[in-house]
Structure 1
Amino acid sequence: MTDKTQMPNDNWRLNYTTGDLFSCPVDETLAHCISEDCRMGAGIAVMFKQRFGGVEELKAQNNLVGQCAVLKRGKRFVYYLITKKKASQKPTYDNLRQSLEDMRAHCFKNGVIRISMPRIGCGLDRLKWERVSEILEEVFAATDISITIYSLPVKTETLENTSR
């Protein structure tokens, strides 16, 4: 007996762009990291809360660390990767991986093939991008899902101050 389950094509891509994450196409799915308590009181999470609301909707999903809460806004999904219990804590790479796997499962069920996100877990949460990008590659290899990473432009005065 042979397994007739087909794996998705390996069209996985990790793209990089400089600019405002919220300027991505309106039908593109967005993702970022939050805590289980859904505080979203610092960093880019504040902008997600202001732009998409839905804090009570997210809390009502009763998701735990290692899962992914989801809002549907217009033509897009907005993924909230739950990587830590409380806003004051730091995530682990394992919790990030589990939440990305949960997000991948939602993508498969809902036909999502394009996701835009910041360098998740690497701002206030202090994870290392080198490791996070490896995890993204491991989780999304052999999929049709393309992920675009948005970075804000580096300010000239910041470069000047660090070179002294």
Structure 2
Amino acid sequence: MESSNTFKFTEIQGDLFTDSPPGDSLAHCISEDLRMGKGIADIFKKKFQGLQELKEQNKKVGQIAYLERDGRYIFYVITKEKYFQKPSKANFERALNELRVMCEEMDVRNLSMPRIGTGLDKLPLEYVHDVIKATFQGTNMRILMYYL
């Protein structure tokens, strides 16, 4: 990869599902138990289906499950074991590092996401921004983060 850093991170007010560019891959955080019963995870579960497909990938904390839908990837970033837990910063960072690796391997250049880790998981927004920037620095990616 070229040394000139073209990584761009932007936070935008808008609806992730209606406002993100149609070709963008999407990412959001879930628990290893794949419950996705609350928050934006519930919307992802209903919109993209594929629960059995995700279960068959048998991914653990710090790993990424994914679906392919309409020519783009939907990444399920696993940051904790059970839906009622809060992720540790170490697991959040480990999972984001894995997301970077997967994006590079799958040639994903454009990624849209909600304010991951900040809703039900209660991680500070500034911390999440810093981790995303540090993790994806040096990549050729554009990340858009949406909030309502």
**TM class by smaller structure:** over 0.9
The CA distance in 2 between the partners of 1:68 and 1:8, in whole Å, is 26
Equivalent of 2:112, from 100, 113, 116?
A: 116
> Which structure: larger Rg?
1
- Structure 1 gaps of 5+ residues are 1-5, 153-164
The reply on whether 1:49 has 2:45 as its aligned counterpart is yes
CA deviation string 1:84-129 (max 9, x = no partner):
0000110011111111111111111111011001110100110001
- What corresponds to 1:155 in structure 2? none
Structure 1, 115-124 or 7-16: larger mean CA deviation: 7-16
- What corresponds to 1:146 in structure 2? 142
Aligned length: 147
CA deviation string 1:6-35 (max 9, x = no partner):
456411111111111001122101000000
| Equivalent AA in structure 1 for residue 38 of structure 2 | A
| Equivalent AA in structure 1 for residue 21 of structure 2 | P
- What corresponds to 1:3 in structure 2? none
Q: TM-score, normalised by structure 1?
A: 0.86
The CA distance in 1 between the partners of 2:11 and 2:56, in whole Å, is 33
The reply on whether 1:128 has 2:119 as its aligned counterpart is no
The reply on whether 1:16 has 2:11 as its aligned counterpart is yes
- Structure 2 gaps of 5+ residues are none
- What corresponds to 1:62 in structure 2? 58
The CA distance in 1 between the partners of 2:129 and 2:2, in whole Å, is 22
The CA distance in 2 between the partners of 1:38 and 1:8, in whole Å, is 37
SS at match of 1:149: strand
Moved >4 Å (runs of 4+): none
The CA distance in 1 between the partners of 2:11 and 2:78, in whole Å, is 23
